[in-house]
Amino acid sequence: MNSIRNPFAPGAGTPPPELAGRDSVRQEMRIALARIRAGRAAKSMILIGLRGVGKTVLLDEIRRDAIEADVHALRIEAPESRSLPAMLAPELRLVLLRLSRAEQVRDLAEQGLRGLAGFVRAMRVRFNDIEVGLDFEPEPGLADNGDLEHDLQTLFELTGQAAQAADTAVAIFIDELQYVAEDQLAPLITALHRTSQRSLPVVLIGAGLPQLPGRMGRAKSYAERLFNFKEIGPLEPADARLALSKPIRAEGEEIDEEALDRLTEVTRGYPYFLQEWGKHAWEVAATSPITLADVDAASRSAVADLDESFFRVRLDRLKPSEKRYLRAMAELGPGPHRSGDIAEALARSVQSLAPTRSSLITKGMIWSPSHGDTAFTVPMFDDFMRRSMPGDDWLL
Ligand SMILES: Nc1ncnc2c1ncn2[C@@H]1O[C@H](COP(=O)(O)OP(=O)(O)O)[C@@H](O)[C@H]1O
Ligand SMILES: [Mg+2]
């Protein structure tokens, strides 16, 4: 069918034509944001899930809802290499500048900007990647003592006070939160704990891989109580069908029921796969309705595209020893797998593989659902590993 009208949108963070199955989380967040704005208690929220379940697009959607509700929303994506202060400082500056425009808030917001200047000056010693314009001179003693835990807390308090005076709230959106180093994650948690204790309207809305709750708990033991961890999983069959059928119908075309059954089955409801298969089924179909035969014929090219984009991006960043580890896991099936079994498949000891395993966790490729267990963070990654490293050469 006409490629120009193909509604499907596979891609990291690419908004889907229909955001299916996420209404209740969005509603919960709208309530939480409205409560914070009204000066009431509400927890920060963290979306947790595997790659490709739709955390980024959901986070962006919640952010739009926040802006619509007149909440100051700042958005950060944590890359593997940048420091938290470097990411936060420019965004907090923009929020404080915006807040400073209102007469009754100006003094507090300017105080916040002075705090920011002190914070940046003090933090530059340790984090040389901070780049931000400063609008005021620092005030000695304000967020400038050089201890991230202490200074970030002050900075959040100053920001919260300004937001409160403006009858609004500040929501900090951070994607890929698992990449924030643990010694920076702990100060972030402490700062949020502080604003929550003082009923100041500053919240975090984060997203990350399944290793994140464990990481946060290790950084600060009370993190589990402070945050509302929301598991974001594959879509229920009814929602998966809707994610496909609604965009097709919106284009004035149709899809057969058996075709929808097959699509929900092969994708197992994972949003990224739904978009990719939907796109290819549309391309393969000569005319509406899209049939079961179209879906089956589309599978080969859908898988090829996934291999080249969704799966491949991650594999390219790995060392040979890390790829071998993943390949050995794949040999054992979808997982989770015991460390001992993986070591055995590689004819190595668990101890000698520990650095490889921990590097793969840091890189976000695998995680540990429980002690000694290892699972992929990407759905259906075992199939991909077997396709990309066929045979048993990897054992050598
Ligand atoms: N609720 C949903 N319904 C349909 N498609 C979705 C949904 N959520 C995400 N997608 C699609 O899935 C893909 C992956 O989304 P993304 O937010 O990047 O996932 P994650 O951040 O969890 O890796 C994108 O192509 C997006 O359009
Ligand atoms: Mg994402």
Interval 202-250: pLDDT, tens = 999 999 999 999 999 999 999 999 999 999 999 999 999 999 999 999 9
How many Å lie between the centroid of ligand 1 and the Cα of residue 234?
10
Q: Assess whether the C-beta atom of 209 lies below 6 angstroms from ligand 1.
A: no
* Runs of H (alpha helix) within 17-128: 23-37, 55-68, 84-99, 106-123
Cα–Cα distance measured from residue 24 to residue 3, given in angstroms and rounded to the nearest whole number = 33
Q: If you take atom 27 of ligand 1, which residue's CA is the nearest one?
A: 16
Checking if the pLDDT of 80 tops 80, the result is: no
Q: Fill in the amino acid letter for 89.
A: A
8-13 long-range Cβ contacts below 8 angstroms, 24+ apart: 8/247, 8/275, 8/276, 8/278, 8/279, 8/282, 9/275, 9/279, 10/272, 10/275, 10/276, 10/279, 10/305, 10/306, 10/309, 10/310, 11/275, 11/309, 12/56, 12/310, 13/56, 13/57, 13/60
Residue 208 to residue 374: CA distance in whole angstroms: 17
Q: What is the pLDDT of residues 92-140, one digit of tens each?
A: 999 999 999 999 999 999 999 999 999 999 999 999 999 999 999 999 9
Q: Does 54 contact ligand 1 (Cβ within 6 A)?
A: yes
Q: Which numbered atom of ligand 1 lies nearest the CA of 13?
A: 18
Closest-approaching ligand to the CA atom of 175: 2
Q: Are 84 and 120 in contact (CB under 8 A)?
A: no
Please indicate whether residue 364, judged by its CB atom, sits closer than 6 Å to ligand 1.
Answer: no
The pair phi, psi for residue 205, each rounded to 5°, is -125, 110
Whether pLDDT at 314 is above 90: no
Structure tokens given for 45: 């929220």
Say what the pTM is.
0.95
Q: Are strands 373-376 and 337-338 parallel, antiparallel or unpaired?
A: antiparallel
Average pLDDT over the chain reads: 95
Query: Which residue's CA lies nearest to atom 9 of ligand 1?
Result: 54
C-alpha of residue 16 to centroid of ligand 2, in Å: 13
Task: Please report the pLDDT score of residue 74 as a whole number.
Answer: 95
pLDDT, tens digit, for every residue of 343-360?
999 999 999 999 999 999
The torsion region of residue 15 among left (phi > 0), alpha (psi -120 to 50) and beta comes to beta
Cβ of 379 below 6 Å from ligand 1: no
Mean pLDDT of 298-319: 93
- Rounded CA-CA distance 220/391 in Å is 44
> Which residue's C-alpha comes closest to atom 2 of ligand 1?
19
CA 283 to centroid of ligand 1, rounded, Å: 20
56 in ligand 1 pocket by Cβ < 6 Å? yes
Question: What is the distance, to the nearest Å, from the Cα of residue 254 to the centroid of all Cα atoms in its chain?
Answer: 33
- How far does the centroid of ligand 2 lie from the alpha carbon of residue 377, in Å? 12
Tell me, using a 6 A CB cutoff, whether residue 63 lines ligand 1. no
Q: What is the pLDDT of residues 27-41, one digit of tens each?
A: 999 999 999 999 898
Is ligand 1 within 6 A of the CB of residue 350?
A: no
